[in-house]
Structure 1
Amino acid sequence: MSSITRLVVLGAVRQFQPVHGYFLRRELMTWHVDEWANIQPGSIYNALRSLKQDGYIDESGTEAAGKRPERTIYQMTPQGEVELMRLLRQNLWTVETFDTKPVMALTSFMFLLSRAEVIAALKFRITEIDAKIASNGFDIKDVARSSTTPAYVREIFELSSLRLRAEQDWARGLYDRIVAGEYVFAGEGEAPRPRESSPAE
């Protein structure tokens, strides 16, 4: 199981607990995690089993709806809380040059951290992105000097720099919105929880 899958499924259990796998599968598919995190519907159940084996979540009971099979209900363990915070901070404070999955995942669960920490991390990300773009510039020069690397390889770094600049613009906007008081963070109250539909829906 990838660290992104671990973060997303752990974070979803934390947000919606006590919760069964079917609800998590249905909810996470509305987030399009299959597209931006490469988490397929069936892998969510596998992730739940793995997280339980690792001691990060535990079964808290079962739920039956009509004639449907019983569904196992999960909730976080203290060990799972520690692991979730570790993964979340790891992605919050790390800028990836090519991979967009970490920033998408941390955006989904940043409310689990304090407003002050998210603001500090966004300030860091904005500055760190400048360094990543500068590094791409040196890679482009290396491609131009190389006698073996095809010249078109520079486009990999050009595309990366444009993506990073877009992320930086987004981070600046998010920073301003959070400073202005948008969203609810740890210690400020409960983050909104979507209504779980009835079995008939």
Structure 2
Amino acid sequence: MVRSRSNPLALAVLSSLRERPMHPYQISATLKQRQKETSVRLNYGSLYSVVRSLLKQGFIEEQGVSQEGNLPQRTVYRITPEGESELVDWMRGLVRVPVKEYPAIEAGLAFLRPVLAPDEAAELLRQRLDRLSGSIETEESRLSQMEETGLPRIFGIETEFALALLRAERDFLTELLASIDDKSIGGYSLWARMHELRRQGVSHAEIAENPEAFLGKTGAMWMTLGETSA
């Protein structure tokens, strides 16, 4: 059977139930207590959907029900041997095999030139960098708290990784913004000219139909090469 492993929440559920049998509310509370919701998108509705899917696939099974005080009875689940195998195999693949991911900022950069003029792009990048600074401070604070409580490094490696990505993005975008501000980025003249023409009412289709007339020979060549490579 070919199984979809696209939902990390299923991985989190299996990992939680490998520790001990739990009902969904306990799984959610455990993940939140350990701040795993920063690495895995967690909401209660999705959690129940994942539990039903894992149950249907035979990776977990009902153990019984539990009740605390006047609260409703809750079904307790435990992982099956098939679930154990699925969890370990899934984890091995995640750690061993790099996969192509599609971060939103990469899509934004891919279509930056044709959609946004240089001045607007620069201002939006400045705003993003401000937000990135806040996110970096949050992750640094989280790491500091872990260190202060004496937790070994292995308990916070996902936070370290998230912080490394944020810092790398900040550094890249800082350099990119500087090259836009001082107009040193390669292709700036073509980029600016394209949007100047658009502001004058010239459509992209008109430019594409006769690029040399609007952009000159070199600009037309750059545009052709850029569109072909994209």
If the length of structure 1 is used for normalisation, what is the TM-score? 0.46
Q: Higher helix proportion, which one? A: 2
Q: RCO (CA 8 Å, sep 6+): is it higher in 1 or 2?
A: 1
